[in-house]
Amino acid sequence: MQIEELNMDSVIPAVESGVRSSATLPIHVRHVGREALQAALMSGREQLLALFDGFESALGRDGLRIGFDPVLNLPLWELGHIGWFEEYWLSRNPDRQRGVACDPGASRAASALPDADKLYDSSNVLHAQRWVLDLPGVEATRGYLAEVRESTLCLLHDSGESDGELYFFRLVLLHEDMHREAWHFMAQHLGVDLGLAMVGRAPKPIGAHGEWLVAGGVHALGYDGGGFAFDNEMRAHPVALDEYSIDRAPVSWSRFLPFIRSGGYETENLWTAAGWAWRRRQERTHPVHVRPTERGWQQRRFGEWVALDPDTPALHLSAHEAEAWCRWAGRRLPSEAEWEAAALQAAGQNEPFEWGDVWEWTASPFVPYAGFAPHPYRDYSQPWFDGRPVLRGGSFATAQHMKHPRYRNFFAADRTDVFAGFRSCTLMQGQSPLSDGGLSSAL
Ligand SMILES: [Fe+2]
């Protein structure tokens, strides 16, 4: 079936932005104009610099040179990289006004910082190499960011309002949002608190319980809503879904803990082969950042051990742990198409369907949609179509204006530093716990 045969708006209610069902719908950055973009850029930057101050206070300036870890970046490198990305795609980019049609290879104007490309181009500076670079100091890096931002705001002031002209401003904002969230992952991993600038510290207790039986039908998977979109969300295409029953909220600790107590971490047949190999590499027989004590379970939040709230979503889980729980519970992960269709339909029908406090692993591998074409920032999606799973939703540390029911996140299955949990679906007749109902039935 060709996509043109379907009227997408008649398939799914045209609710393109929403967190926690239809309660409060924030204006999504994908559609905002110059004025709101400027405000978002300014408040995001204020928060970023305050978070960096948080790292400095917690670790000391010398402590900023944290040891190498594959899931971390040096905070000072990351700060400089954020400025470099902004300058590279905006003030240095002669083709910026063409948005997604921009030639990514167009020759660039010089950077305000000598050797910036050699230091901060994430496509060319290997991860481990970032630890041995001779980076500019904190003041020089902050100065570079300030200089770049001044140029950016001048360009924005003079920019037109079309989606093409605003494309790179929106991308730069979202890129910085992502790094800000990564700093929250890093703070949790290092066990440090970054102070008042943190977007959040923990997911809220779950308010919606039970499951929702979602009618089958054709879902238009992918983004077709105008404004800004990431390349991996395009194009929207029809996917046939059978009826399915999905949790109204992510799986809570009160549902996850019995899996641990019943020996789930010692039972090989509950795990996939890759999952069991991962499990055997861990010393723990429970998720990271929680521990059993004589007074019950505790969880570690940014260096502080507190009583675990059983009503909050289970957190810091790898995809392997999510899959093992599903096998133990006789359930399965939703496909990304099921997740997306449920989130959009819930918003349109005022059904309780909570999301946005933890990223949620899905059963779907991160693959390009039909007709995928990389956007100018070539390395955003393309290098990561390697079989890793898609996550949907967003976390308590994700910028509110970034959360979108069509957004696809894509971490490696063994990551536990991400604020990730999952929700589950009832097994229908003939389904296995690891089936991928949505994508396998794409029309
Ligand atoms: Fe980046």
pLDDT at position 23 is 36
| Gap from CA of 121 to ligand 1 centroid (Å) | 9
User: Which CATH number belongs to the domain containing residue 184 in this structure?
Assistant: 1.20.120
| Gap from CA of 409 to ligand 1 centroid (Å) | 14
pLDDT at position 19 is 37
Residue found by looking up tokens 């889980």 in the block = 317
Inter-residue contact 303 to 191 (CB < 8 Å): yes
Cβ atoms < 10 Å from Cβ of 272 = 17
pLDDT at position 429 is 73
Inter-residue contact 80 to 138 (CB < 8 Å): no
Residues 227 and 375 in one domain: yes
SS3 244: strand
Residues 186 and 234 in one domain: no
Low-confidence ranges of the chain (pLDDT < 70): 1-27, 432-443
| Gap from CA of 20 to ligand 1 centroid (Å) | 28
- What is the token pair recorded at 395? 């976390």
SS3 308: coil
Residues 147 and 264 in one domain: no
Q: Does 103 reside within a domain?
A: yes
| Gap from CA of 22 to ligand 1 centroid (Å) | 31
- Could you say which DSSP state residue 193 is in? -
Q: Does 199 reside within a domain?
A: no
Q: Does 322 reside within a domain?
A: yes
Beta carbons within 8 Å of 37's beta carbon, 6+ residues apart:
29, 156, 166, 169, 170, 173
Residues 258 and 180 in one domain: no
Residues 282 and 315 in one domain: yes
Q: Can you spell out the DSSP letters for 347-384? A: HHHT-----SSSEEEEEEE--PPTT----SSTTTTGGG
- What is the token pair recorded at 243? 């009826």
Residues 218 and 183 in one domain: no
| Gap from CA of 85 to ligand 1 centroid (Å) | 7
Q: Does 300 reside within a domain?
A: yes
Element (H, E) at 253: helix 253-261
Taking only the tens place, the pLDDT of each residue in 310-365 is 999 999 999 999 999 999 999 999 999 999 999 999 999 999 999 999 999 999 99
| Gap from CA of 221 to ligand 1 centroid (Å) | 26
| Gap from CA of 365 to ligand 1 centroid (Å) | 22
Residues 298 and 162 in one domain: no
pLDDT at position 434 is 57
pLDDT at position 29 is 85
| Gap from CA of 439 to ligand 1 centroid (Å) | 29
* One-letter-per-residue 3-state SS of 404-419: CCCCCECCCCCCCCCC
Residues 316 and 367 in one domain: yes
Q: Does 167 reside within a domain?
A: yes
| Gap from CA of 37 to ligand 1 centroid (Å) | 19
pLDDT at position 193 is 96
pLDDT at position 163 is 96
Total domains in the chain come to: 2
SS3 300: strand
User: Which CATH number belongs to the domain containing residue 257 in this structure?
Assistant: 3.90.1580.10
SS3 12: coil
| Gap from CA of 79 to ligand 1 centroid (Å) | 10
pTM here is 0.92
Q: Which domain holds residue 33?
A: 10-190
Residues 260 and 290 in one domain: yes
